[in-house]
Amino acid sequence: MTAPRRGEDATVREIADVLRPLPRLLVTAHVNPDGDAVGSALAALQAYRALGGEARYVQVGPIARTYRFLPGFDAIVAAPEGLDPPPDVLLSLDAASADRVEPVLSAMPAETEVLNVDHHVSNTRFGDRNLVDPEAAATAEVLHAVLRELGAPLTPEVATCLYAGIVTDTGRFGYPGTGPGTHRIAAELLEAGIRPEEVHGPLYRSVPIGLLRLTGALIAALETRLDGRLAWVELTRAACEEAGVAMKDAADLVDIPASVEGVEVAALFRETDRPGKTKVSLRSKGTLRVDRIAVRRGGGGHPAAAGFTADGSVGEVRDPVLREIEEAFADGGR
């Protein structure tokens, strides 16, 4: 693996200037992609093609089936396919650190210019040029600014993908990062011809029955500490198999403990497809910053939503992490 790149911060104009001559582009987004990752990457792909550019979208790892409705989905190439020939420019979207876009990043020769467009406060600036706006509620917002600077046509397909990225990363316009700018962009996307029900419907009103039953089982097993200020659930492969749900499709289950009255910090501990590795998702509804806990454990994210992968089984990882959260509470939200 090549050493991580480290570059300078760039402006929207500078990123657009790199793309304006339409170099051969490879778009990618972080592993275990959420709606912002897939939505932003598909928006970039289709906008670039609409400008007349040659682009591919290569994604690391499986994609949850809930995103299949997005325009352009069938054009996505699964890594390591699609890496040859190397592009002139790699555009990484919604990835806070280099490991989140491996093995795509390492496959790039030194001549390929790496653009890192993101909104995570923990972003490590692994690109040659880095456009990171932690004020943006979604990477789709940052990308929207780049596409506007480029003069890319806001087709209904591009607009739908950007809208999906914004809707998912803002918790349907409800998380703290949602600002006036978020709604202005959403208004522009509506003017471009998107139909909100065609995004919200597939995302939120089309849950497979097995996943709904699995959700029920997690609700029944939910546990709390600190008089209900800390709540968590656990997801095992066995539970997924029993419910007939693919692991990759069991997303957003951390919303279960996070939605409970009185909960300030919520956690989800889930088995991964790598033995002895547990994925931890953290959410905060109060002042405790979960990104700090995630960063200390090699992950990243935002103050109110962060994650990391830890060594050990769910049972081994759970107690030390819960204890660390309890200590952070005791320290006044450090």
CB 95 within 8 A of CB 32: no
DSSP state string for 279-327? EEEEEESSS--HHHHHHHTT-EEETTEEEEEEES-HHHHHHHHHHHHHH
The yes or no reply on residue 291 touching Mn ion (CB under 5 A) is no
Interaction between residue 48 and ligand AMP (CB under 6 A): no
Does residue 83 belong to the site contacting ligand AMP (CB under 6 A)? no
CA gap 301, 299 in Å, rounded: 7
Question: Which of 321, 290, 319, 325 is closest to 307 using CA atoms?
Answer: 290
Q: How many chain residues interact with ligand AMP (CB under 6 A)?
A: 14
**Cβ atoms of residues 325 and 289 within 8 Å:** no
Q: Which is nearer to Mn ion, 139 or 160 (CB)?
A: 139
Query: Contacting Mn ion (CB under 5 A), which of 36, 234, 252, 271?
Result: 36
Taking CB under 6 A as the rule, does residue 15 contact ligand AMP?
no
307 binds ligand AMP (CB under 6 A): yes
Closest CB to ligand AMP among 49 and 279?
279
Binding flag, residue 115, ligand AMP (CB under 6 A): no
Instruction: Fill in the amino acid letter for 189.
Output: L
Tokens describing residue 109: 């020769």
Binds ligand AMP (CB under 6 A): choice among 301, 304, 318, 329: 301
Q: Which of 281, 293, 304, 328 binds ligand AMP (CB under 6 A)?
A: 281
308 interface partner picked from Mn ion, ligand AMP, none, CB below 5 to 8 A per type? ligand AMP
If one asks whether residue 306 binds ligand AMP (CB under 6 A), the answer comes out as yes
Which of Mn ion, ligand AMP, none binds 139 (CB below 5-8 Å, type-dependent)? Answer: Mn ion
Query: Does residue 299 touch ligand AMP according to CB under 6 A?
Result: yes
The residue behind tokens 């919604």 is: 94
Cβ 73 to ligand AMP shortest distance, Å: 20
Distance CA 93, CA 35 (A): 12
Regarding 140 and contact with ligand AMP (CB under 6 A), the answer is no
Task: Give bridge partners of residue 49 from the DSSP assignment.
Answer: none
Q: Looking at 46, 97, 116, 139, which residue binds Mn ion (CB under 5 A)? A: 139
Q: How far apart are CA 320 and CA 323, in angstroms?
A: 5
302 touches, from Mn ion, ligand AMP, none (C-beta below 5 to 8 Å by class) = ligand AMP
Q: Is 34 in the site for Mn ion (CB under 5 A)?
A: yes
Q: Does 300 bind ligand AMP (CB under 6 A)?
A: yes
Residue 130 burial (C-beta neighbours within 10 Å; 0-12, 13-18, 19+) = buried
DSSP H helices in the chain: 12-19, 35-50, 139-150, 156-169, 180-191, 197-204, 209-221, 237-243, 255-258, 290-296, 314-330
Using CB under 5 A, list all residues that contact Mn ion: 34, 36-37, 94, 139, 169
Using CB under 6 A, list all residues that contact ligand AMP: 30, 96-97, 100, 281, 299-302, 305-309
